[in-house]
A and B are shown apart, each in its own frame.
Chain A
Amino acid sequence: MLEPFTLPFVQRALIEVLILAVGAGLLGTWIVLRGIAFYAHGVGTASFPGLVLAEGLGFAAALGALGTAGIFAIGVTALHGRRRTGYDSLTALVLVGCLAIGVILASDVFRSGASIETLLFGSLLLISWQDVAIAAAATVCAVAGSLVLGHRWMAAGFDPESATALGLRSKVPEFVLLALIALATVSALSAVGALLATALFVVPAATTRLWTSRMRSWQISTVALVAVEATAGLWLSVKTDAPPGATIGVLAGVVFAAAALTRALPNQLRRHAPVAASLALLAIVGIGCGSSDAGSNAAASGSAAPIVVVAATTQIGDLVTVVGGSEVKASTILKPNSDPHDYEPRPSDVQATADAKLVFVNGDNLDAWMEKIVNESGSDAKTIDLSLGLPVKLPGESEGAGASKFDPHWWHDPTNAEAAVLEIRDSLVAVDPSAKSSFDANADAYLRKLAVLKASITACIEKIPSADRKLVTDHDAFNYFATAFGIELIGAIIPSQATQAAPSAGDLAQLSKLIESENVKAVFPESSLSPKLADAIAQQTGATSKYTLYADTLGAAGSTATTYLTMMAANADAVVRGLSGGRQSCSIAGL
């Protein structure tokens, strides 16, 4: 039952949450007592511009986040002198200011890559020892601050009108409280992310508040509750293969709801609360033990077992599965179902990476987060960056120190896919030479299909008059496709790959004029993004936005684009239909 805690990355996660529990539990009581939950939530979210800057200028992300959080704390403290704006409105205003700056930095200054979102999200399973050290430092500061300044924090909340008379004129203790919360929240970002930090910092303290009437007992019970909830959530998440942050969040919410309901019950029913609590605990253990253990599947390795391989993206996963055949057990980290930006790895992903012999990544910054999974899972797998040996490389458009030199969407050119298939084949052979003949045969068969694909798409596109071969897409993902098949790229609606990035009215107006003057027939939304902007541009310019392209991932199960080949065929068909005004189509047989 306790086997999840034998996994090294789970052990590190446990150490992290137990350390965080002290700081988060302690500060949580002050957050709830002083009613500043919004601040606690906002200060983590506001680290966005700091992360963009850190990536753009090339310094440590933690530093960027801490810097912004510090500015946030100073901003709220400084503005709070104005009596006519309440603390909560101020927090909202400072937060909006920070986020607006972040969006502008990401959209118009650095045109950053997508790796920021993973930082905002965070995962308990990918904690580094550096993260643990930062959490420990934040916790020590929180304990020291509480011991020294607790009386002042308490008095200021008890009787704010008398604050001056009580000698609480100095703003320093209040600022220290906000700064400590900022430090602790930011230190928890890498573990639970900005949106779920409140699951550690607010919800448990609110739960214990229902049952305690004194500060000391409240603080102790909160620290204990955070530790218990986090440990149970971690255990449950490994057992059910769910993301730990969200599991802890739901668990904390359920415990709060149960506590609040119990309090609302009449006394004679409340006596049964311990029984109900034990039943609930049994249910949790039941859920955990009833589900298949995420860790054990991959760990069961015998001598004749297939090679365990991890692919970062869906299209690479497909190529690896095809080339490896039955000799390879391939896992794909990104699911076609989930947006890469709000993705928190599941325990099985981390476990698979830990057990893997080979890890294939896309490279060029598209999946920079994969490096973290490989490092923190304790994997000794060989990482193969498929972008390194490609015949066709186009320049990247991102700016800033963290930006990639090359456009990462190389797989949209089948010539590159051919090179990737060869690279995958050779890497697999190097690991298991005995299966060479099988890998060779699989790769050769697939290369023939790729040749068919390439020839067919070329033929389809050639039927479109060259004056009509003009492409406008949602974001800049189709350079390789356009270059490979002789299509002119007019522009893209979203100026950057970060989802927080947004276009400007000026850019869109320019693009609209371009679409009209170039007489572009179609604007293509993407399967994983909202089509609204593409629709609006289409409506304004008279182009169509009916046809959707698969840009960053394969289609979900049930769609027509579940493999690399069908995805490419679907894109070609959409492009042909769009550019020909629906008069032509492109169906490719033999895939």
Chain B
Amino acid sequence: MADGIHVAAALGWLTDPWSQPIMVRAFVEVALLGVVGGALGCWIVFYELSYGAESLAHSIFPGLVIAALLGLPLLLGGALGVLVAAVAVFLAGRIEKIGRDTAVAVVVTSLFALGVLLALSPDSPPGISGLLFGDILGVTDSDLAMAAVLAIVVLVTLRLLHGRLLAVGFDRSSAKGLGISATIVDLVLLMLLALAILVAVQGLGNLLVVAVLVGPSATARLLTNRISSMMAVAVAVAVASGIGGLYLSYYAKIATGASIAGVMVAVYLLVALISGLRNRSAMTPNSATT
């Protein structure tokens, strides 16, 4: 009998948060974007695009301001801003001496500074930077719909490009010999990243977007070798961290986005620590003389 009470209490503890519609929405959003983050994030990690994942969001800002000044729909402006930034990163990254990370720094710094200057215009509406960042607890129906569409677009595109992404990522120089254009693969990947950031930043906020795109896939990279299993593990880690972070935020009353992001980083550190210890024990002297 006492067991039954405990089970009921535990069940109540587990189900209580989900009686709140806000929590359910937050979960759906984090699950949808966890799928995107897990699948796309593996390529982000593989292609070393983490800087882009962190910073491209800032290039939405000038797009928003310009759209506001011209009277265009703001979302269109934001989309243009981030896509222009992705193309500019791609072009600057093609200069051999520059490299991808430096290209991101150059493009994002310039565009963000441009946005700051443009926003000084008296015609620019107030609170425009508020459009830039979302909060996982304030997810709207349109955020959810966009996240669902994004998930489909990302999954379909990645499925279509899978072989090419793998070939170019494995050996860029030989990809050309196989009839694969590294240019197109790079550009499409950057476009997908830009799209994901545009949608996800409004739903999750920038901090959580970086966490979702990099954390689970870096964790999965420690656990598996194959890109397909890596994606599955990354999606699982993303969704599980999302649920764990939501519980943590619900019961410990910690800021939600930060608690989900913190759980993702903590999972990575834990896995890195365990696999580091395992590797070290595998390299003790006796194994060297087997």
The answer on a CB contact under 8 Å between A86 and B255 is no
A528 at the interface (CB under 8 A from B): yes
Shortest beta-carbon distance from A315 to chain B in Å: 15
**B163 in the interface, Cβ–Cβ < 8 Å?**
no
Q: A503 and B105: CB pair below 8 A?
A: no
A89 CA to B21 CA in the complex, in Å?
34
| Chain A proximity of B134: nearest CB distance (Å) | 6
| Binding stretch for chain A, among B147-155, B175-183, B244-252 | B244-252
Q: Within 8 Å of chain A (Cβ to Cβ): is B84?
A: no
Q: Which of A99-130 contact B (CB under 8 A)?
A: 99-101, 103-104, 107-108
CA distance A245 to B275 in the complex (A): 44
By a CB distance below 8 angstroms, the chain B residues around A92 are 50-51, 53-54, 210, 214
Decide yes or no whether A502 CB sits under 8 A from chain B. yes
State how many angstroms separate the Cβ of B174 from the closest Cβ of chain A: 19
Q: Are A253 and B110 in contact (CB under 8 A)?
A: yes
Residues of the A chain whose Cβ atoms lie less than 8 Å from the Cβ of B103: 206
A-contacting 9-mer, from B7-15, B22-30, B71-79, B192-200: B22-30
B253 x A96 contact (CB < 8 A): no
| A84 partner residues in chain B, CB cutoff 8 A | 221-222
A37-B105, A89-B214, A92-B210 are known contacts. Are A195 and B58 too (CB-CB below 8 A)? yes
**Cβ-based interface call for A577 (8 A):** no
In the complex where A85-B222, A503-B255, A540-B22 touch, is A243 in contact with B250 (Cβ < 8 A)? no
| Contact indicator A532/B138 (Cβ below 8 Å) | yes
Contacts of A305 in B (CB 8 A): none
B100 to chain A, nearest CB (A): 8
Out of B17, B112, B254, name the residue touching A104 (CB < 8 Å): B254
* CB contact between B135 and one of A41, A242, A249, A532 (< 8 Å): that residue: A532
Per the 8 Å Cβ criterion, residues 455-479 of A in contact with B are: none
Find out whether the CB atom of A91 lies under 8 angstroms from the CB atom of B50: yes
Q: How far is the CA of A104 from the CA of B254 in the complex (A)?
A: 6
Q: Min CB distance, A205 to chain B, in Å?
A: 8
Instruction: Please give me the residue from chain A that is nearest to B124 by CB atom.
Output: A337
Known A35-B101, A337-B126: A539·B21 in contact at CB below 8 Å: yes
Question: Which residues of A (344-372) have their CB < 8 Å from a CB of B?
Answer: 344, 346
Tell me the bound Cα distance from A304 to B268 in angstroms.
Answer: 69
Determine the chain A residues whose CB is within 8 A of the CB of B48 once the complex forms.
86-89
Closest chain B residue to A99 by CB distance?
Answer: B207
Q: Mark B66-110, 1 if CB is under 8 A from A, else 0.
A: 000000000000000000000000001001011111111111111
Q: Which of B50, B110, B111, B211 contacts A38 (CB 8 A)?
A: B50
Contact A93 B215 (CB under 8 A): yes
Say yes or no: A107 contacts B138, CB within 8 Å: no
Distance of B66 from chain A, by nearest CB (Å): 14
**Residues of chain A within 8 A of B221, CB atoms compared:** 84-85, 89
B126 touches A527 (CB 8 A): yes
Task: Report yes or no: B268 in contact with A93, Cβ–Cβ below 8 A.
Answer: yes
What per-residue 1/0 map shows which CB atoms of B105-123 lie under 8 Å from chain A?
1111111111011011010
Segment with Cβ contacts to A, from B32-40, B256-264, B281-289:
B256-264
Asked whether, in the complex, the Cβ of B218 is within 8 Å of the Cβ of A85, the reply is: yes
Let me know if A508 and B251 touch, CB within 8 A: no
Chain A residues whose CB sits within 8 angstroms of the CB of B259 once the complex forms: 100, 104, 504
Interchain nearest-CB distance for B62 vs A (Å):
10
Name the contact of B257 in the complex, choosing from A502, A506, A555 (C-beta under 8 A): A502
Given known contacts A527-B127, A536-B138, A93 and B257 CB-to-CB distance under 8 angstroms: no
Which B residue sits closest to A337, measured CB to CB? B126
Q: Does A507 sit at the interface, judged by CB under 8 A?
A: yes
Check B210–A95 contact: CB distance below 8 A: yes
User: In the complex, what residues of A have CB within 8 A of residue B107's CB?
Assistant: 253
**Contact at B215–A82, with CB atoms within 8 Å?**
no
Q: Are B262 and A337 in contact (CB under 8 A)?
A: no
Which of B51, B117, B255, B261 contacts A37 (CB under 8 A)? B51
Evaluate contact between B106 and A253: CB separation under 8 angstroms: yes
Residues of A within 8 A of B54 (CB): 38, 41-42, 92, 95
A107 to B205, CA, bound (A): 15
A556 at interface, CB cutoff 8 A? yes
Q: Which residues of A contact B262 (CB under 8 A)?
A: 97, 100-101, 104
Residue pair B261, A96 in contact (C-beta under 8 Å): yes
Residue A530 is within 8 A (CB to CB) of chain B in the complex: yes
Q: Nearest chain-B residue to A532 (Cβ)?
A: B138
CA of A107 to CA of B259 in the docked complex: distance in angstroms? 11
Given contacts A86-B48, A249-B110, contact A108 B256 (CB under 8 A): no
Interchain CA distance A81-B280 in the complex, whole Å: 12
Q: Is the interface of A mostly helix, strand, loop or mixed?
A: helix
A41 touches B55 (CB 8 A): yes
Minimum C-beta distance from A497 to chain B (A): 14
Interface-side segment among A11-19, A196-204, A382-390, A436-444: A196-204
Complexed CA–CA distance, A339 and B116 (Å): 12
Contact A337 B272 (CB under 8 A): no
CB pair A202 B137 closer than 8 Å = no
A176 within 8 A of B: no
Interface pair A260/B92, CB less than 8 Å apart:
yes
Contact with B along A519-542 (1 / 0, CB 8 A): 000000001111011111101100
Residues of B within 8 A of A536 (CB): 22, 25, 137-140
Closest to B138 in A: A532
By a CB distance below 8 angstroms, the chain A residues around B126 are: 336-339, 527-528, 553, 555-556
Contact A504 B253 (CB under 8 A): yes
- Judge if A246 is at the interface, Cβ distance under 8 Å: yes
**Is there contact, CB below 8 Å, between A243 and B92?**
no
Smallest CB-CB separation from B92: which chain A residue? A260
Among A95, A209, A254, A346, the most chain B Cβ lie within 10 Å of the Cβ of A95
The answer to whether B51 and A41 touch across the interface, beta carbons within 8 angstroms, is yes
A residues within 8 A CB of B21? 539-540
Give Cα A336 to B134, complex, Å: 22
Residues of A within 8 A of B135 (CB): 502-503, 530, 532-533
Alpha-carbon separation in the docked complex, A210 to B112 (Å): 23
Spell out B's residues near A (CB within 8 Å).
17, 20-23, 25-26, 45, 48-51, 53-55, 58, 92, 95, 97-114, 116-117, 119-120, 122, 124-127, 129-131, 133-135, 137-140, 205, 207, 210-211, 214-215, 217-218, 221-222, 246, 249-259, 261-262, 264-265, 268, 272, 275-276
Could you jot down 5 A-B contacts, CB within 8 Å? Answer: A37-B51, A38-B104, A505-B26, A505-B249, A540-B21
Q: A253-B109, A509-B22, A536-B22 are in contact. List 19 more A-B contacts (CB 8 A).
A: A32-B98, A92-B51, A93-B265, A96-B215, A99-B258, A100-B259, A198-B105, A198-B109, A202-B102, A206-B98, A206-B103, A263-B95, A338-B119, A339-B126, A505-B137, A505-B256, A509-B23, A535-B140, A556-B126
Closest 8 CB pairs of A and B: A253-B110, A249-B113, A532-B138, A38-B51, A246-B116, A103-B258, A506-B253, A37-B105
